[in-house]
Amino acid sequence: MSTAKLILDGKEYELPVIEGTEGEKAIDIRQLRSTTGAITLDSGFANTGACTSAITYIDGERGILRYRGYPIEQLAEQATFPEVAYLLIHGELPTMEQLAQFRRELTYHSMLHEDLKKFFEGYHPTAHPMAILSAMVAAMSTYYPDEADDMVNMVRLLAKVKTIAAYAYKKSIGQPFMYPRNDLSYCANFLYMMFAVPAEDYEPDPLMVSTLNTLLILHADHEQNCSTSTVRIVGSSMADLYQSVSAGICALSGPLHGGANQRVLEMLQQIHDDGGNLQKYIDLAKDKNSGFRLMGFGHRVYKNYDPRALILRKKADELLGKLGINDPLLELAKKLEERALSDEYFVERNLYPNVDFYSGILYRAMGIPVNMFTVMFAIGRLPGWLAHWKELREDPGFRIYRPRQVYTGPAERQFVPIERRG
């Protein structure tokens, strides 16, 4: 066991160093306070490992992303989303029979309880679908309070999240909800519930189905990101699965995290409507006082290309080419990327396009509205949240997440009654 030496107040301490599968090193400070009386400080946890995990590996310097050891490029190209969901949750790729059974369960549980459907009558037509999604998932905990089998609840959530998302969209456009069909695959069923109407026959386009499969696979997990850490934190208090995931949905909605994909499209549209003046927005992004950031750019971990962005840029070219769509925002995005990556501000800070930079172009080409983009991210990320919640809860040594702090408020002082305070 290698160690790290710490000298504090003239005293020397040896701290164990643990090593991950890929040789990454961590100084184990689990006994730091009890042995030294000191804690560490790491705002934003950029240097802090919250746990050990066997689910996803990211190498930010080399732009590597693997789910349970499988490179994202191979999964995106060859797997289906249910297969990847199974892999993340169970740790191994399913056999033919395991996948068939998993698909049957995902199909069987796709319907929402008829009373849950009534919740949609109360939402305002302009309600953001992410707020609806988090509320509906939390409400699901009231429908299955006695379900002791976490796996059943995980399948229920995976199956119903796409139904809730489609219903939120139908609600926003005043169209009738379409019940899920048992003859359609996971992605085809979602597209059916989103775009079918009672008066017409609708069969999902296979190209859209395969594009959606890729999009959901690319979003399926990303180790200890903000929303996954939130699911772990809430789950560590022994809150139920639905409540934990609902909290993750709330965290994902933020524009610095999953909400970025909606902001990217809005930003590209703003630049386009403003005459396509790229340099103006590059300069704004570099100006700390502007409050403007290049959305879809930069990443806490990737200091090289986000491998997902590379795949999505290629997919966008393919899909729009096959559909004969000439989306000016795609060309604008590529020019913006090129301009930014030749600007020293971005180069010095290793700011590359992340997963959110091109995903919106694809969603838009599929007819999905901008305010549904982050909901699409949530549908994709759900298997990752479930896998991490399960990993946390199955860890015999897991403890409730409760970080410490460095207090910088007033020292002790005596209460002064109101009469004497003037």
The residue whose two tokens read 């379900």 is 147
Task: Between 142 and 270, name the residue whose CB sits nearer to ligand SDX.
Answer: 270
> Residue 93 phi/psi, 5° resolution?
-65, 140
Is 260 an interacting residue with respect to ligand SDX (CB under 6 A)?
A: yes
Range list of H helices, 5-63:
32-36
> Which residues on adjacent β-strands are paired with residue 59?
64
Q: How far is the CB of 164 from ligand SDX (least distance, A)?
A: 21
> Which residues on adjacent β-strands are paired with residue 64?
59
Find the binder of ligand SDX among 68, 156, 162, 222 (CB under 6 A).
Answer: 222
Q: Which residue from 40, 377, 393, 91 is spatially nearest to 234, judged by alpha carbons?
A: 393
Taking CA atoms, 60 is separated from 294, 295, 301, in Å, by 20, 19, 5
Q: How far is the CB of 123 from ligand SDX (least distance, A)?
A: 26
Task: Between 63 and 296, name the residue whose CB sits nearer to ligand SDX.
Answer: 296
Give SS3 for 57: strand
By annotation, the residues acting in catalysis are 299, 356
> Which residues on adjacent β-strands are paired with residue 71?
66
Q: Which residue from 393, 354, 406, 341 is spatially nearest to 51, judged by alpha carbons?
A: 393
Q: Which residue from 181, 173, 185, 195 is spatially nearest to 216, judged by alpha carbons?
A: 185
Q: Which residue from 359, 374, 362 is spatially nearest to 129, judged by alpha carbons?
A: 374
Is 163 an interacting residue with respect to ligand SDX (CB under 6 A)?
A: no
Token code pair at residue 175: 């169209």
Rule CB under 6 A: which of 224-253 touch ligand SDX? Answer: 225
Q: Which residue from 343, 284, 335, 342 is spatially nearest to 313, judged by alpha carbons?
A: 335
Which H/E stretch holds residue 16?
strand 11-19
Q: How far is the CB of 28 from ligand SDX (least distance, A)?
A: 23
Is 354 an interacting residue with respect to ligand SDX (CB under 6 A)?
A: yes
Task: Between 81 and 195, name the residue whose CB sits nearer to ligand SDX.
Answer: 81
Q: Do 271 and 336 meet the contact criterion of CB atoms below 8 Å apart?
A: yes
Token code pair at residue 108: 């069987």
Site string for ligand SDX, 264-303 (x = CB under 6 A): ---------------------x-------xxxxxxxxx--
Find the binder of ligand SDX among 256, 322, 331, 395 (CB under 6 A).
Answer: 256
Is 104 an interacting residue with respect to ligand SDX (CB under 6 A)?
A: no
Q: How far is the CB of 407 from ligand SDX (least distance, A)?
A: 24
Task: Between 186 and 302, name the residue whose CB sits nearer to ligand SDX.
Answer: 302
Region from 22-30, 59-67, 232-240, 256-264 binding ligand SDX, contact rule CB under 6 A: 256-264
Give SS3 for 418: helix
What residue is closest to ligand SDX based on CB?
A: 298
Q: How far is the CB of 225 from ligand SDX (least distance, A)?
A: 3
Site string for ligand SDX, 29-58 (x = CB under 6 A): ---------------x--------------
Task: Between 193 and 271, name the residue whose CB sits nearer to ligand SDX.
Answer: 271
Q: How far is the CB of 106 from ligand SDX (least distance, A)?
A: 23
Interface residues with ligand SDX (CB under 6 A) are 44, 222, 225, 256-258, 260, 285, 293-301, 349, 351, 354-356
